[in-house]
Amino acid sequence: MKLAKRVSTLTPSTTLAITAKAKELKEQGHDVIGLGAGEPDFNTPQYIINAAVRSMEEGHTKYTPSAGLPKLKEAIIGKFERDQQITYKPSEILVGSGAKHVLYTLFQAILDEGDEVIIPTPYWVSYPEQVKLADGNPVYIEGLESNDFKVTAEQLEQAITIKTKAFILNSPSNPTGSMYSAEELRELGEVCLKHDILIVSDEIYEKLVYDGATHTSIAQLSTELKEQTLVVNGVSKSHSMTGWRIGYAAGNKEIINAMTNLASHSTSNPTTNAQYGTIAAYTEDDGSVEQMREAFEDRLNQVYEKLIAIPGVSCVKLKVLFIFSLM
């Protein structure tokens, strides 16, 4: 059978391929350290597991609304109010099967053939592939080392054409480990407002910040920027729930509605017990999330000191994530 043209140039996720190979070698008894996908090595906190198990024992094993349980939407709204001082309505929230699925659904909802999406480099491997699967064209702008691998408002302005539909903003950034300041975000946002370009703000690593750094969401800077931004987040990194596959989007009601319609024909709904676990993640707290963050910060400092002690090796000390770029 001849396959569709849309998959002919599609490349598999290299990070997931490396991770799968590492796990395979471990099962064969090899002493292997996997350096593929960004996956915390801690187990999911027990209170979250308990909530998911309890939900199944109580009979919550059926379909849910395509956009997610109302109680989970309320928990996500509460999270935004606590962390970013932003208020969303339930109609502005979509829960999906992981942040990756949410992004995929978004691009399917907003892109027509030939539409352009601006992607700063270096970038997470799935961004351009998802854009291409929606018949869009990725347009790259380089984040220079001299600017901590971040792009500037001037670069963004120069990359915009009449076909530009969206700008992907990943802060904290995978794989660079950089994070935009409020002023940098405001400058980028002004460009997007000027040209009516959707800001896709991927904030999946927001909790993994170190050295007293504070994450700022571009959506919290003004009412206008909130309305221009679709925030994408999830619990995979913050709560070590990578396999639970729960992510979400917050933003424009019309976009969320279109994404919900698409999701209803692709996944029906996110896994029910995982949604109940996520409700616990955002409404309860036993301190384990902060303990994980502190452990990552301690490891980061130790690895950094060992790396710079190697002759001929240099690297940037990160303030976010658990990823190093060697030079």
DSSP per-residue codes, 203-250: -TTTT-B-TT-----GGGS-HHHHHHEEEEEESTTTTT-GGG--EEEE
Q: Which of 99, 6, 88, 66 is nearest to 258 (CA)?
A: 66
pLDDT per residue as tens digits for the range 283-316? 998 899 999 999 999 998 898 899 889 998 887 7
The predicted pLDDT at position 139 comes to 99
Residue 11 CB coordination number (10 Å):
10
User: How does residue 326 score in pLDDT terms, banded at 50, 70 and 90?
Assistant: low
* CATH fold for domain 46-283: Aspartate Aminotransferase; domain 2 (3.40.640)
The yes-or-no verdict on residue 245 having pLDDT over 70 is: yes
Contact 316, 147 (CB under 8 A): no
Average pLDDT, the chain: 94
User: What residues does 116 pair with on adjacent strands?
Assistant: 137, 164
The predicted pLDDT at position 303 comes to 87
The yes-or-no verdict on residue 323 having pLDDT over 70 is: no
The predicted pLDDT at position 322 comes to 66
Q: Mean per-residue pLDDT for 17-24?
A: 81
Percent over 70 (pLDDT), the chain: 98
Q: Which of 128, 148, 93 is nearest to 10 (CA)?
A: 128
How far is 132 from 42, CA to CA, in rounded Å? Answer: 34
Cis peptide bond N-terminal to 65, omega within 30: no
Residue 246 CB coordination number (10 Å):
27
Q: What are phi and psi of 150, to 5 degrees?
A: -105, 150
Q: Mean per-residue pLDDT for 96-104?
A: 98
The predicted model scores a pTM of 0.92
User: How does residue 22 score in pLDDT terms, banded at 50, 70 and 90?
Assistant: confident
DSSP character string of 246-282: -EEEES-HHHHHHHHHHHHTTTSSS-HHHHHHHHHHH
How far is 168 from 45, CA to CA, in rounded Å? Answer: 31
The yes-or-no verdict on residue 1 having pLDDT over 90 is: no
How far is 174 from 39, CA to CA, in rounded Å? Answer: 12
The yes-or-no verdict on residue 14 having pLDDT over 70 is: yes
Q: What residues contact residue 127 under an 8 Å CB cut-off, 6+ apart?
A: 103, 117, 119, 138, 168
User: How does residue 325 score in pLDDT terms, banded at 50, 70 and 90?
Assistant: low
The predicted pLDDT at position 275 comes to 99
pLDDT per residue as tens digits for the range 41-80? 899 999 999 999 999 999 999 999 999 999 999 999 999 9
The predicted pLDDT at position 206 comes to 96
The predicted pLDDT at position 39 comes to 82
CA torsion through residues 132, 136, 141, 143, sign: negative
Q: What are phi and psi of 265, to 5 degrees?
A: -105, 0
The yes-or-no verdict on residue 137 having pLDDT over 80 is: yes
Where in the chain are the domains? 46-283
Contact 190, 300 (CB under 8 A): no
User: How does residue 191 score in pLDDT terms, banded at 50, 70 and 90?
Assistant: very high
